[in-house]
Amino acid sequence: MIIVDTRLEERQKSNNPIKAGFIGAGVMARAILNLIEKNIPGIIVAAVYNRTPDKAKQIYGLSGIDHPKFVTSLQELDAAVASGIRAFTDDYRLLCESHQIDVLVDITGTVEFAAELLLYAFKNQKNIITFNAEIDSTLGPILSVYADKAGVIYSGSDGDQPGVTMNLYRFVKGLGLTPMLCGNVKGLHDPYRNPSTQEGFARQWGMGPEKATSFADGTKMNMEQACVANATGMKVAKRGMIGYEHRGHIDEMTSMYDFEQIRALGGIIEYAVGAQPGPGVFVFGATDDPLNKHHLKYYKLGEGPLYSFYTPYHLCIFEVPTSIARVVDFHDHVLKPLGAPVVEVIARAKTDLKAGMMLDGPGYYTVYGECENSDIVIKENLLPIGLADKVKLIKDLPKDKEITFDDIEYNPDNIVYKLYKEQKDYFRK
C-alpha cells in the first residue's frame, strides 16, 4: 500500500484513473464501489455487469452516482466510459471486450458462470481480480495457465483471507525466514450448519444464507486454504487439516505442531478456532541460521523452531483498491497458483444422502468441503465440492462419507467438468 497510494495519487492528479469493471452487483460489490467512488483517488468503477441490470444501476445510485447509462453494445460502453459516464449492462462480454476497461473484478462467488467469464476475459486479454475462492480452489491452476498464455493477470484479492495470507507469507520470506505454516483464524467451525440454521445471521448482515452457511460449515475456509496451498506448494497434514481449537493467543500455538512433520511435508496449511487475535491469518516461519535465531529471540519472538507472525484482521472490501493498483500498475499477482494443484477441496455428505437426490453445492444442505492433498484426491477419485452442484447422486451415502465421481451422474460436457478434466490431464504431462 505504501507504493500503491503514491501511484494512485499521481493518477488522480493527472486525471488518468484506473478504470475497473465489476462483475456482479451484490452486497460486496456495492460496498467496494461505494468505497472507491467516495474515498479512493486514482480509480473509478467505470462499468458494472449484473444479470439484473437494475441492481447494477441501484448500487451506483446508493453511492451518489446519478444517471449511469445502460448499454447494450460495445460502442455504447466505450463511448460512455471515454466521456466519464458510468455504465451498466446485462452482458458481461462487453466489459471483457472493452479497451476502455483496465481490469475486471469478479465478485460473483460462482463456479460455472465464473468459468465462462474468465475464459472470455482471457480471450480478450483482460486482467481479472477475483474474490472467488470457489472457482480458484477448483480450477485455479488451469485457469492460471490460460491467463499466462493470454499474457494477462489472474489474481486473488487483498482483503480476502488468501490474499492477506499471501501478503504475510511474502513478508516472512522477505525477512529471510522460511514460511512453514499458513493458518486461518475462525470463530466457528460446524460442518453440519445449513441455510436454515444460518438464516438469522445472514439476515443480520445482509448476505445470502448459503454464503453464511459456507462460512460456518468450514467449506469457505477450506477453499481459501486450498488457494493458499496451491500458491505456496504447502500441503495438509491430514484430511480437513488438524484444526486446533485454541482460546489463547496465536503465538502460543507454535509449540503445538510437529515441526519435523511440517518440514517433511514442505510446509502445511492450517486453521485455528477461537485463537486471538482474530479473525485474521497467521504464518509460522523458521530459520536454521544461528545468528538469525539469536536476533529473533532478542526481538521477543521466542526460542523457535517456529516463529509467529500474524495479521489480526482481513478487511475484504477496504483492500480491493490496493489489488486493482497492484495488478494494473505493477503487474503483481496477489495470489496465483504455482502450477499443478497441491490441495483440493473434496465434498463430504452433510447428512445421510439417498440415491436420486441432487447435490446442491457449497453452502447448502447436502455437502460440506474439506481439504485433501491432490495426489490422494486423484488416487481415490474424490469429487471436488466445486463440482458437487446440481448433480444427481446414484448411491446411498452415510453422513460424513466422502463423495466420489463413481457416486454421481454428471454431464462431462459441462464447462466445469471439462476444465477439471483438462486440469488433470494438463498437469499429468
Q: Consecutive sets of 10 residues in the chain, 429 residues long: mean pLDDT of each?
A: 90 98 95 97 98 96 95 98 97 98 94 96 97 95 98 96 97 98 95 94 88 93 98 98 96 97 97 93 98 97 97 94 97 97 98 97 96 98 96 97 97 96 93
Assigned CATH class of 343-426: alpha beta
* Ranges in the chain annotated CATH 3.40.50.720: 2-160+317-330
Predicted pLDDT at 109: 85
Q: What is the homologous superfamily of the domain 2-160+317-330 according to CATH?
A: NAD(P)-binding Rossmann-like Domain (3.40.50.720)
User: Which SS3 state, helix, strand or coil, does residue 313 take?
Assistant: coil
| Residues 171-181: b if buried by 16+ CB within 10 A, e if exposed | ebeeeebebbb
337: CB partners within 8 A, 6+ apart: 136, 140, 141, 144, 227, 230, 231
Cα–Cα distance measured from residue 335 to residue 195, given in angstroms and rounded to the nearest whole number: 30
Single-letter amino acid code for the residue at 80: A
* Ranges in the chain annotated CATH 3.90.1210.10: 343-426
How many other CB atoms are there within 10 angstroms of residue 409's CB atom?
Answer: 11
53, three cell numbers: 441490470
Could you give the count of Cα atoms lying within 13 Å of 228 in the half-sphere of its Cβ?
36
